[in-house]
Each structure stands twice: as C-alpha cells, then as structure tokens.
C-alpha cells in the first residue's frame, strides 16, 4: 500500500490508489520560491478536480543549499507567477 506524509511523493502514492482510477498526469511550468521556472506535475481527477504536490513547485530541493536565503524567497500562491 503506497503511503505519503503529504509532501514529496504524495502524487506517486495517490496515483497508485484504486480510488483515483481515471486520474491523469499533467505538467505545467510555474515559478519556484526564488523565481526560477520549474516543471511541476499534478494529477487531474475525473470531474476536473486536481491534486497538487507543494514540493513540486515550492520544495527546498528546487534550490541548492548554498543558494537558499529565506529573505529572498517568495511565493504568492503555490506555483504562482510573479
């Protein structure tokens, strides 16, 4: 049984769930907390609802440790554009 804490790996765990049969993967470019363009995946559910994984657009792994500076990071909304 796939398990996730809601962060990185959430979508992969949910995609394996029989309750989400018919969900399809989608990708979209969005802005990281440092304004870099990143490709983020999400799941589109039947009924046109979506599930996003915050780590895909806002996760720490998107910025090298040496460049992380909380004073420079921004996020208007998950994956939002500036």
The per-residue pLDDT for range 27-62, each reduced to its tens digit, is 999 888 777 888 999 999 988 888 888 888 877 778
Instruction: Compare 3 and 68 and report the one with higher pLDDT.
Output: 68
In contact, 22 and 43? CB cutoff 8 Å = no
Assign residue 6 a region: left if phi > 0, alpha if psi is -120 to 50, beta otherwise? left
Q: What is the pLDDT of residue 7?
A: 73
Over pLDDT 90: what percentage of the chain?
13
Q: Would you mind telling me the total number of residues written for the chain in this entry?
A: 82
């Amino acid at each position: 049984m796939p398990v996730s804490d809601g962060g990185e790996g959430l979508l992969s765990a949910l995609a394996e769930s029989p309750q989400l049969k018919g969900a399809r993967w989608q990708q979209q470019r969005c802005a990281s907390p440092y304004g870099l363009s990143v490709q983020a995946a999400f799941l589109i559910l039947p009924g046109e609802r979506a599930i996003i994984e915050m780590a895909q657009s806002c996760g720490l792994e998107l910025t090298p440790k040496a460049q992380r500076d909380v004073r420079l990071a921004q996020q208007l909304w998950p994956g939002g554009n500036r």
